[in-house]
């Protein structure tokens, strides 16, 4: 059985949603953020990065959201989230998930995790970083809405692993002081994901 480790309020929501959507047997382990359980030796033995998500498989442990999502898509080709067989379509999908990982998520993280880039006592730099989050995220969402999102799903007519991944960031819009109404395609997408049975089951478990 697959085992997913997650913190509420984290990007692990994307992997958790996909596991539930696929309908495979899995166990979800809630790490207690209040006691920084993801930094304890027991979890660091699973993922030395001290981050979530981590997915334990029969062959080993996977970390990093794009890797976990693609693994699940390829492991369960009978699901609606199967990875494209066409190599160009697969590369297009990876371009989207890579952008979400390397740019969108990093911009979001500046709001509450600036200490990763700036010394904790450098309050001026931390505050400046936080002030930029709204405009940086708005730029990301504008690009996605205009250039990336094909509709009705991220990659077009077929739902894919890009959909639960993008959903997490649109779900966080208000927290980043972004007005969802400014991005009607992404707001509609968010609402359609929230209406799905998987989201109704999983999203409440990820409330911080």
Q: Are residues 94 and 108 in the same domain?
A: yes
Quick one: pLDDT band at residue 173, thresholds 50, 70, 90?
very high
Is residue 111 over pLDDT 80?
no
Quick one: pLDDT band at residue 120, thresholds 50, 70, 90?
low
- DSSP three-state, residue 74: helix
What is the predicted pLDDT for the residue at 132? 85
Per-residue pLDDT tens over the stretch 82-110: 999 999 999 999 999 999 999 999 999 87
Is residue 126 over pLDDT 80?
no
Q: Which domain holds residue 181?
A: 87-196
CA distance 154 to 90: 13
Q: Are residues 74 and 27 in the same domain?
A: yes
CA distance 56 to 138: 35
Q: Are residues 111 and 126 in the same domain?
A: yes
What is the predicted pLDDT for the residue at 133? 83
Please, are residues 19 and 26 in contact by the beta-carbon 8 Å criterion? yes
Report the Cα–Cα distance between both ends of the chain, in Å, rounded: 26
Q: Are residues 94 and 187 in the same domain?
A: yes
**Nearest 5°: CA angle at 109, between 60 and 15?**
35
Lowest pLDDT segment from 54-68, 100-114, 164-178: 100-114
Q: Are residues 51 and 126 in the same domain?
A: no
Number of domains in the chain: 2
Is residue 123 over pLDDT 90?
no
Mean pLDDT value of segment 178-204: 98
Is residue 114 over pLDDT 60?
no
Tell which wins on pLDDT, 112 or 148.
148
As a whole number, the mean pLDDT across the chain is 93
What is the predicted pLDDT for the residue at 145? 98
């Amino acid at each position: 059985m697959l085992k997913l480790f997650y913190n509420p309020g984290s990007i692990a929501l994307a992997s958790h949603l996909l596991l539930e959507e696929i309908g495979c047997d899995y166990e979800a382990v809630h790490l207690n953020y209040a006691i920084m359980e993801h930094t304890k030796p027991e979890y660091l033995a699973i993922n030395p990065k001290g981050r979530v998500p981590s997915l334990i498989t029969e062959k080993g442990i996977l970390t990093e959201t794009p890797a976990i999502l693609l693994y699940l898509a390829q492991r369960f080709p009978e699901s609606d989230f199967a990875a494209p067989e066409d190599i160009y379509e697969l590369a297009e999908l990876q371009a989207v998930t890579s952008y979400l990982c390397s740019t969108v998520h990093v911009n979001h993280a500046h709001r509450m995790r600036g200490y990763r880039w700036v010394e904790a006592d450098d309050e001026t730099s931390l505050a400046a970083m936080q002030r930029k989050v709204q405009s940086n995220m708005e730029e990301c969402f504008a690009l996605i809405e205009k250039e990336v999102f094909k509709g009705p799903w991220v990659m077009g007519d077929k739902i894919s692993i890009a959909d639960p991944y993008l959903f997490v960031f649109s779900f966080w819009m208000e927290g980043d002081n972004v007005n969802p109404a400014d991005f009607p395609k992404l707001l509609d997408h968010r609402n359609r994901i929230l209406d799905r049975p998987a989201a109704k089951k999983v999203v409440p478990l990820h409330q911080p």
